[in-house]
Amino acid sequence: MSYWVNGLACQQISVTDRAVSFGDGCFTTIHGVNQQAKMLNEHVARLINDSQRLKISQPDWVALKQHIQQVCSLQTEDEFVVKVIISRGVGGRGYSSHGFTSPTVIVSVSPFPNNYAQLQCKGARLIVSDIPLARSPLLAGMKHLNRLEQVLIKQGIDECAADEAIVLDTDGIIVECCSANVFWRVGQTVYTPDVSHSGVNGLMRQKIIALLADSQYHLQVVERFATVLKHCDEVIICNALMPVLPVQSIQISQQQPPLQFVSRELFEYLFLRCKI
């Protein structure tokens, strides 16, 4: 992996950085292809929106965009992952954010996951996580740095040797997956969870919603319990890297056999459109 901090090649940040002390910041994860950052404008717009919601002083966005493009131009692999973190900056001990005017900008490049192509063929195996997401409308939708819930969810995924997990909130409502958003189809109607109370409004989720608005499918943004998955024809998951995967099975509980899904109608409609 390679790292840059405030535009300079570097692998260290201050121990007093707010990202370390409080997870005080936001991030985005970009799919790099052939020395280009896919959906770069959308990723920068996300960082602007989320940092403004957190009332973080704004970095030079034009310079950051140019830096990301420069970093991508240095890559020799066909595909790679660029992660951009915006922290409130360095200093202080307590919670007060007064006086922080110089955010820390961290850019990293890592290898592209090698399992997505395989999962596009065979489908992803999901569990339903027993770790709920707290309902927090103040932070809902954004990719902030407080990811302890996801760390615990991923532990459960690894223990079950699953590919992903359906994640519920504290009221038992479907929200998303650990690192992806989720859609399910019943006939010509497609459903996706409301993420206004918790979860991440992913860029690929937004793209799929826009694609479905101009399609034969009818989209509904809903709050539903996990039992609805027993009655659907197809489930897909998505994020900026995948970009979309079919779901092969969902293990709702250890006492029941996993739900199986054969149809790939929605996946096939979206796959090439989401790769563009």
Active site residues: 29, 143, 176
Check if the beta carbon of residue 80 is closer than 8 Å to that of residue 111.
yes
Going by their DSSP bridges, the two strands 36-37 and 189-193 should be labelled as unpaired
Q: What is the DSSP letter of 227?
A: G
E strands, 18-173, are: 25-33, 36-37, 79-87, 104-111, 124-128, 164-168
Residue pair 107/68 in contact (Cβ under 8 Å)? The answer is yes
Chain Cα centroid distance, residue 195: 12
Nearest partner of 63 among 36, 35, 84, 49, judged by Cα? 84
Q: Among residues 195, 265, 229, which one has the least CA distance to residue 127?
A: 229
